[in-house]
């Protein structure tokens, strides 16, 4: 019989999370408990404030994105809360919610901003963290995160590297805004987080928004149907 082995948590009357008694964890702020669970240590006071801002920045962004549309559409078919929310999470991918992981991986590489831009241009690929369909000149969420990091004394080399990538790309092609994913990628890298947690961070942050949308959809008429136009041959 295979035995699960983990450093994350224990169960039973003396259950612990990362070595901390459950009673202590229950007294923590929720964002701090998430930090403890994922990173294996408690955040400092400044780290806690910045992490809370990061999570709040991605909690929701309207109804038109793939995850929210998926969650509400699935719920409208007569499914339960967990099914609708799961559908929303499953809609998250490299082009929606996945840029944080790729952005962290890119920033944490040993490549210079110039090398990063050149490689992406040669491959015809977008640079994770640059550009947004809604924000042309500035992403206020990204600016808030960078400002918070600076105010807390946590702005580091990766935040500077992200801004340099933006400048190099503007020189070589066109100016693009640093979006919220780029800001999160930078500050979470400065906070020494593993890039493989990038998608997980977005899932955690966006889930409350999905829950809210699914709940609202429950009050709508069943079976949401969008108009479509047939353009094939008659």
What residues act catalytically? Answer: 132, 181
- Cα–Cα nearest to 166, from 146, 191, 150: 146
Structure tokens at 171: 């020189």
Compute CA distances 77 → 15, 81, 209, 214, 224, whole Å. Answer: 39, 12, 19, 11, 7
223: left (phi over 0), alpha (psi -120 to 50) or beta: left
Q: Which residues contact 142 (CB under 8 A, 6 or more apart)?
A: 177, 178, 179, 180, 182, 183
- Residues 6+ away with beta carbon under 8 Å from 73: 87, 224
Q: For residues 231 and 130, is the Cβ–Cβ distance under 8 A?
A: no
Report residue 32 as tokens: 């701090």
CA distance 197 to 38: 8
Q: CA 113 to CA 117: how far, in whole Å? A: 6
Query: SS3 for 64?
Result: coil
């Amino acid at each position: 019989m295979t035995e699960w082995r983990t450093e994350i948590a224990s169960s039973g009357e003396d259950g612990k999370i990362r070595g901390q008694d459950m009673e202590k964890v229950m007294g923590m702020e929720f964002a701090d408990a998430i930090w403890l669970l994922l990173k294996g240590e408690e955040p400092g006071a400044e780290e806690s404030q910045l992490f809370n801002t990061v999570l709040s920045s991605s909690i929701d962004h309207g109804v038109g994105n793939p995850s929210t549309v998926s969650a509400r559409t699935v719920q409208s078919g007569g499914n339960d809360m967990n099914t609708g929310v799961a559908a929303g999470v499953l809609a998250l991918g490299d082009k929606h919610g996945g840029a944080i992981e790729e952005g962290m991986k890119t920033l944490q590489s040993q490549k210079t901003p110039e090398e990063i831009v050149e490689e992406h241009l040669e491959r015809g690929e977008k640079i994770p963290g640059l550009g947004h369909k809604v924000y042309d000149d500035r992403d206020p969420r990204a600016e808030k995160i960078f400002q918070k990091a600076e105010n807390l004394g946590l702005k580091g080399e990766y935040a500077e590297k992200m801004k340099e990538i933006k400048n190099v790309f503007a020189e070589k092609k066109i100016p693009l805004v640093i979006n919220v994913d780029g800001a999160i990628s930078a500050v979470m890298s400065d906070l020494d987080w593993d890039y493989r947690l990038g998608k997980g961070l977005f899932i955690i942050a966006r889930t409350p928004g999905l829950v809210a949308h699914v709940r609202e959809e429950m009050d709508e008429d069943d079976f949401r149907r969008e108009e479509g136009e047939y353009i094939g041959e008659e």
